[in-house]
């Protein structure tokens, strides 16, 4: 099977949950995860490309892009949280054979994504100097960072739309179309950023500010293409005008997405706190940590891909009322994720010396980087469990327990032990190793929750309207819906 060739898999993907649920195979999981992994790689590549574009401008420009990117990532957390809710609602409705409800939920999600992005973007634009000031940069780097953050804040609604569009398609099993969108957005965004930063083709030289503007232009091109075809009814998901500001669906999305949003805030705040602990060991140790995280960002795309696949499959399975399928799909996604990330761990550990040499010329930084890469290799199988099982829970609408898990891992496992290591004067290698406790706690709690089956009914009254109206909250099998309402179900 030509996995990554669009036309070879397009028709089978668009058959939705009906075909996916018939055969519980690893191929179904991989069919969803593979394109997601490539999409994630493209997202990581954008960050590397941005640093490459501004490299000729010196270290101040690089520091500004890193700082601006971190603030922008915090801004994107709301859209990421909404994507969790969108996956749960759309996937469950699609699995229930209610295409209209899936389309309505998508329409509402698009509206909510724009409102959230514009609101948070406006606040970020106003208080940008304060956010940049947290990083204690020199005057030049701070000014350059502001040139990045402010346009990124105002244009973040384009990213929010892009993410919501991709999430909605993935939720119905179409993972190749978002990959195609991502490829175009990445290529056009990088080209646009390069042109604007360097002032090519007679355009004004915009410097650092050209990075977010060029990226937004690339994403907007894809969004515009989607909106045109979507309005014309060319996709399986259709626009539902009555759902643009539907209060019930907005409440539903907020209820499911709010814990995911809090989880993102907790994660990012904990990361910053842990970075402060690492900085106490000196510049070399701090730089090594940053390099290691960059290496990890490439490796975890495998886990993220299986997490997205697990969320889609569990949501669709619960939409059919088949809880056993939801359980089996989760376990299969976890096994594949462990295999994939263990392979990445072995490769990363084997290449630790050349990686450290490539990313730093300082001997001390290289030594610390190699030590940290060893720790990262050890935790990758645990991260695979977090991504796959956590994805299954979120896809089923259980977003509160992952928040508890994140709190336990970050606060109890990482920060509490980290502060103890720092207080007793432990070496930096011990501080690096603290993250093993973090991911061990998360993996254990998630597996216990998954095995308990409590997550299968955690969404309660906030399960998608399609399931409530057809099967009731008891989630009785509703495959008969397609037979009794043939005019309401369309497959491409």
Question: What is the predicted pLDDT for the residue at 459?
Answer: 60
Owning domain of residue 403: 20-487
Tell whether 258 is covered by a domain.
Answer: yes
Whether 236 maps to a domain, the answer reads: yes
Q: What are the two backbone dihedrals, phi and then psi, of residue 25, each rounded to the nearest 5 degrees?
A: -130, 160
Cβ-in-10-Å burial (0-12, 13-18, 19+) of 283 comes to: exposed
Average pLDDT, stretch 466-488? Answer: 32
pLDDT of residue 24: 54
Give the separation between CA 33 and CA 173, rounded to whole angstroms: 10
Q: Which residues contact 186 (CB under 8 A, 6 or more apart)?
A: 42, 43, 45, 46, 218
The answer on pLDDT for 13 being more than 90 is: no
Does a structural domain hold residue 12? Answer: no
206: left (phi over 0), alpha (psi -120 to 50) or beta: alpha
Other C-beta atoms lying within 10 Å of the C-beta of residue 487? 5
Taking only the tens place, the pLDDT of each residue in 32-59 is 666 777 777 777 778 778 777 876 777 6
For residues 86 and 105, the answer to whether their CB atoms sit within 8 Å is: yes
Tell me what pLDDT residue 32 has: 67
Largest CA distance in the chain: 70
Choose from 246-250, 342-346, 474-478 the range with maximum mean pLDDT: 342-346
Residue 70 lies in a domain: yes
> pLDDT band at 206, cuts 50/70/90?
confident
Are the C-beta atoms of residues 371 and 432 closer than 8 Å to each other?
Answer: yes
Nearest by Cα to 300 from 33, 70, 50, 51: 33
Burial class of residue 56 (count of CB atoms within 10 Å of its CB; 0-12, 13-18, 19+)? exposed
Q: What percent of the chain has pLDDT over 90?
A: 19
CB atoms within 10 A of CB 286: 19
pLDDT of residue 84: 77
Q: Is the pLDDT of residue 471 over 60?
A: no
- Decide: 332 and 306 in contact? Cβ < 8 Å: no
Number of residues assigned to the chain: 492
Cβ 219 vs Cβ 189: under 8 Å: yes
| Rounded distance between C-alpha atoms, residue 403 and residue 132, angstroms | 28
Q: Determine the pLDDT at residue 96.
A: 78
Predicted local confidence at residue 59, as pLDDT: 65
Output 181-185 pairs: Cβ under 8 A, ≥24 positions apart.
Answer: 181/222, 181/226, 182/39, 182/42, 182/43, 183/42, 184/218, 184/221, 184/222, 185/218, 185/219, 185/221, 185/222
Nearest to residue 94, comparing CAs of 182, 179, 21? Answer: 21
For residues 298-312, one letter each, b for 16 or more C-beta atoms within 10 angstroms of the residue's C-beta and e for the rest, the string is ebbbbbbbbbbbbbb
Instruction: Say if residues 312 and 173 touch (Cβ distance below 8 Å).
Output: yes
The rounded distance, in Å, linking the Cα atoms of 457 and 463 is: 9
Residue 458 φ/ψ, nearest 5 degrees: -70, -25
Instruction: Confirm whether 6 is domain-assigned.
Output: no
Q: Which residue from 441, 252, 459, 291 is spatially nearest to 373, judged by alpha carbons?
A: 291
| Half-sphere exposure (Cβ direction) of 314: Cα atoms closer than 13 Å | 33
Specify the 3-state DSSP secondary structure of 136: coil
Does 94 reside within a domain?
yes
Q: What was the pLDDT predicted at 7?
A: 36
- 117 occurs within a structural domain: yes
How many structural domains are present in the chain?
1
Percent of the chain with pLDDT over 70: 84
In tens, the pLDDT along 135-172 reads: 777 788 888 889 999 999 999 999 899 988 988 888 88
Q: What pLDDT band is residue 25 in, cutting at 50, 70 and 90?
A: low
Would residue 55 count as lying in a domain?
A: yes
For residue 466, which of 14, 90, 172, 18 has the smallest C-alpha distance?
A: 90
68, 71, 148, 398 from 153: Cα distances, Å: 10, 9, 9, 30
């Amino acid at each position: 099977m030509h996995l990554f060739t669009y036309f070879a898999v397009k028709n089978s993907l668009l058959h939705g949950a009906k075909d996916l649920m018939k055969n519980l195979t690893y191929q179904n999981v991989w069919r969803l995860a593979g394109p997601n992994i490539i999409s994630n790689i493209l997202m990581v590549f954008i960050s590397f490309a941005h640093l490459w574009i501004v490299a000729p401008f010196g270290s101040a420009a690089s520091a500004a892009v890193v700082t601006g990117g971190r603030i922008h990532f915090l801004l994107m957390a709301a859209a990421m949280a909404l994507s969790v809710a969108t996956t749960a609602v759309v996937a469950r409705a699609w699995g229930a054979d209610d295409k209209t409800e899936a389309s309505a939920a998508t329409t509402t999600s698009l509206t909510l994504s724009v409102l959230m992005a514009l609101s948070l973007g406006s606040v970020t634009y106003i208080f940008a100097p304060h956010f940049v000031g947290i990083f204690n940069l020199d005057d030049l780097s701070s000014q350059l960072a502001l040139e990045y953050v402010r346009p990124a804040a105002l244009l973040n609604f384009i990213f929010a739309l892009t993410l919501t569009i991709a999430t909605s398609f993935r939720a119905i099993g179409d993972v190749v179309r978002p990959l195609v969108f991502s490829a175009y957005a990445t290529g056009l965004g990088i080209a646009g950023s390069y042109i604007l930063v360097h002032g090519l083709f007679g355009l004004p030289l915009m410097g650092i500010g050209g990075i977010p503007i060029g990226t937004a232009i690339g994403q907007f091109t894809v969004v515009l293409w989607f909106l045109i075809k979507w309005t014309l009814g060319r996709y399986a998901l259709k626009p539902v005008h009555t759902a643009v500001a539907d209060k019930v669906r907005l409440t539903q999305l907020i209820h499911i997405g709010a814990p995911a949003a809090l989880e993102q805030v907790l994660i990012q705040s904990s990361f910053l706190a842990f970075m402060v602990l690492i900085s106490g060991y000196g510049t070399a140790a701090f730089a090594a940590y940053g390099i290691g995280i960059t290496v990890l960002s490439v490796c975890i795309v495998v886990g993220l891909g299986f997490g997205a696949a697990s969320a889609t499959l569990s949501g669709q399975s619960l939409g059919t009322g088949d809880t056993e399928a939801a359980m089996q799909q989760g376990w299969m996604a976890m096994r594949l994720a462990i295999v994939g990330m263990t392979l990445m761990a072995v490769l990363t550990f084997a290449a630790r010396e050349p990686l450290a040499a490539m990313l730093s010329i300082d001997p001390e930084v290289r030594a610390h980087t190699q030590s940290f890469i060893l720790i990262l290799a050890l935790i990758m199988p645990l991260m695979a469990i977090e991504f796959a099982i956590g994805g299954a829970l979120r896809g089923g609408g259980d977003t509160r327990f992952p928040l508890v898990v994140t709190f336990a891992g970050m606060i109890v496992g990482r920060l509490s032990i980290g502060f103890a290591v720092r207080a007793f004067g432990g070496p930096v290698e011990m501080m690096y190793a603290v993250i093993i406790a973090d991911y061990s706690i998360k993996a254990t709690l998630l597996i216990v929750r998954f095995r308990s089956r409590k997550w299968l009914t955690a969404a309660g009254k906030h399960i998608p309207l399609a399931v409530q109206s057809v099967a009731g909250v008891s989630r009785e099998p509703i495959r008969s819906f397609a037979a009794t309402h043939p005019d309401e179900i369309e497959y491409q």
